[in-house]
Amino acid sequence: MDVQLSLNKDMAVNVQRFGNEQLPVLVIDNFLAEPELLVEHACRQSFKHNSQFYPGIRAVAPKSFQRLLLGSLGRTFKQVFELRGNQLGLSICHYSIVTTPADQLQLLQRIPHFDSIEQDQLAAVYYLFKQDLGGTSFYRHRKTGFEYVDEKRQTDYYQSLESENGTTNIPQSGYINGDSALFTRIGEEQGMFNRLIVYRRQCLHSGSISSDFVPNPDPRQGRLTISAFIDCIDTGS
């Protein structure tokens, strides 16, 4: 069963820019009128591990949220991120709960990552927890100075990371949540209930998860978000 959702009349839209490269991060507070409906809907879903990269479990988000995300903010996405295509779509949109203990993370889960090298592909994170469970941080790779990775940069970036593999700079355990030997945190958006953030998938980023974080798979108690990949394509029409 779908969920009947509507926008909050007090929705607030802001744009933040971090670091030397000043890539935009769209921040929308008070996004939905009744976000609790999504928490209750999530409690009725069957979550499972479906990614070797995401440190937790996922379930498909309702179509009503997907429609509202694109229908209400599509024009804003195009303006803020200067998207070049004429059609928006979602390649991923699902509930996500972080459930992996810090000492069980794979290497790629212990450092910031990027999701795409394409400029016109966005990521969205909608926070559905009220506890202090962290938000999303953005990073600069110290050796290259990169704050995002595109097609021109990816070879240099991977070669630079590989050159540091096996050194003491490589984190041995734990979620990254601030400066490290490899990365500098250039900005952070706090995880606040009913807050939506959107950024280019090229950005080096990671969830801000503290060292004392205790995973909980319960949607009412755990680090529940909705994560979406937004694609902008040129249909030629």
Task: Map residue 227 onto helix, strand or coil.
Answer: strand
**Domain coordinates in residue numbering, the chain:** 12-233
* Confidence band, pLDDT 50/70/90 cuts, at residue 96: very high
Q: Distance between CA atoms of 223 and 17, rounded to whole angstroms? A: 25
Contacts of 224 (CB under 8 A, 6+ apart): 39, 42, 95, 96, 97, 128, 129
Q: For the segment 195-230, what is each residue's pLDDT rounded down to a tens digit?
A: 999 999 999 999 999 989 999 999 999 999 999 999
* Confidence band, pLDDT 50/70/90 cuts, at residue 86: confident
* Confidence band, pLDDT 50/70/90 cuts, at residue 144: very high
Contact (CB, 8 A) for 174 and 105: yes
User: Taking all residues of the chain, what is their mean pLDDT, rounded to a whole number?
Assistant: 95
The DSSP line for 69-95 is HHHHHHHHHHHHHT---SEEEEEEEEE
Q: Does residue 65 have a pLDDT over 70?
A: yes
pLDDT confidence of residue 52 = 83
pLDDT confidence of residue 234 = 78
* Confidence band, pLDDT 50/70/90 cuts, at residue 50: confident
Question: What's the rounded mean pLDDT across residues 161-184?
Answer: 91
Comparing CA positions, the residue from 207, 190, 210, 173 lying closest to residue 96 is 207
CATH of 12-233, one of 3.30.450, 1.10.357, 1.10.3470, 2.60.120: 2.60.120
Q: Does residue 237 have a pLDDT over 80?
A: no
Contacts of 113 (CB under 8 A, 6+ apart): 53, 204, 205, 206
pLDDT confidence of residue 173 = 87
Q: For the segment 175-204, what is each residue's pLDDT rounded down to a tens digit?
A: 999 999 999 999 999 999 999 999 999 999
The values of phi and psi at residue 75, to 5°, are -65, -40
- Entry pTM: 0.96
